[in-house]
Amino acid sequence: MAPVFWLSMRQLGGRVRLSIVVLLAALPVGLAVIVFFTARDDATYEEGFVNVLLDGMLVGGIMPIVTMALATAAFGNEVEDRTLSYLVLKPISRWRIALPKLLASIVIAGPLLIASGIAATIVGLDGGVRESAAVGGALFAGVVTYAAIFTWAGLISTRAIAFALIYVFLWEGLISSFIHGVDYLSVRGYTLAIMHGIDESGLEVLSTRVIGLPSAAVGASAVTVAFFWLAVHRLRKMDVP
């Protein structure tokens, strides 16, 4: 699996793509600094920080977009430039092609987003180890789950980014914000629930609108496994250009 992993790292680590995702990941930190110095004395500062910056911006926007930019390209670029045949015409199981692709997306997106989340939490919430671990752990789970979904999406359509954007903004952004039950079928819901589950006291503001930690852990795991299996299945059955 190592050759495919390192190949994917080089493919996804292109200067332009990397610059964009680094810039996106840095946004919450920059905003946290600004908010901290301009609004920390407000009565609703902590609630606003968690709802707007951590949930709305980082979990609801930056995390899916950064993961999408990487994971849809993991196979999407190979399908588009027709180099996928170099991988599938080898005597290796399809999961051994899909897994390193998925891992490469996670290895690039994960540290960037986790660092961004932890830095924003430390700056904005004066967060300690527990809060940072909660944000970092939840973001990692979110990145893994999104990466599985978007890796599969990159295999089923050359317009995966467009479909992924619609999904992120409609389902994860709009619908999951207004309909509580959707949290059981939403990566954003899982991420917030895991965040709150690890540090209930520090992130108490989330307590009224998150599902339980076990449900979130099971949901995220199930979605990850299901979409990874779909990606492997697609690799086995698709017509490779």
Smallest distance from another protein to CB 235, Å? 10
Residues 91-130 interacting with another protein (rule: CB under 8 A): 91-94
Q: Which residue from 38, 83, 158, 207 is in contact with another protein, where contact means CB under 8 A?
A: 83
Smallest distance from another protein to CB 94, Å? 7
When asked if residue 159 is in the footprint of another protein (CB under 8 A), the reply is no
Structure tokens at 144: 């893994």
The residue range among 1-9, 22-30, 132-140, 209-217 that interacts with another protein, by the rule CB under 8 A, is: 1-9
Smallest distance from another protein to CB 232, Å? 11
Non-local (6+) Cβ contacts of 203 within 8 A are 50, 131, 134, 195, 196
Q: Which residue from 15, 16, 37, 89 is in contact with another protein, where contact means CB under 8 A?
A: 89
When asked if residue 87 is in the footprint of another protein (CB under 8 A), the reply is yes
Q: Which is nearer to another protein, 92 or 166 (CB)?
A: 92
Rounded Cα distance, 145 and 109, in Å: 12
Smallest distance from another protein to CB 55, Å? 38
Q: Long-range contact list for 208-215, CB < 8 A, 24+ apart? A: 209/180, 209/183, 210/183, 211/183, 211/184, 215/184
CA-angle at 161, arms to 108 and 221, nearest 5°: 55
Q: Which is nearer to another protein, 222 or 240 (CB)?
A: 240
Binding mask 196-215 for another protein (x = CB under 8 A): --------------------
Smallest distance from another protein to CB 191, Å? 34
Rounded Cα distance, 78 and 207, in Å: 43
CA atoms within 13 A on the CB side of 73: 22
CB atoms within 10 A of CB 197: 21
When asked if residue 17 is in the footprint of another protein (CB under 8 A), the reply is no
Binding mask 22-61 for another protein (x = CB under 8 A): ----------------------------------------
**Residue owning tokens 């967060």:** 127
When asked if residue 240 is in the footprint of another protein (CB under 8 A), the reply is yes
Going by the DSSP 8-state scheme, the letter that residue 238 receives in this structure is S
Q: Which is nearer to another protein, 93 or 207 (CB)?
A: 93
Non-local (6+) Cβ contacts of 56 within 8 A are none
Non-local (6+) Cβ contacts of 166 within 8 A are none
Q: How far separated are the first and last CA of the chain, in Å rounded? A: 22
Give the residues lining the site for another protein (CB under 8 A). 2-4, 7, 10-11, 81-83, 85-94, 236-237, 239-241
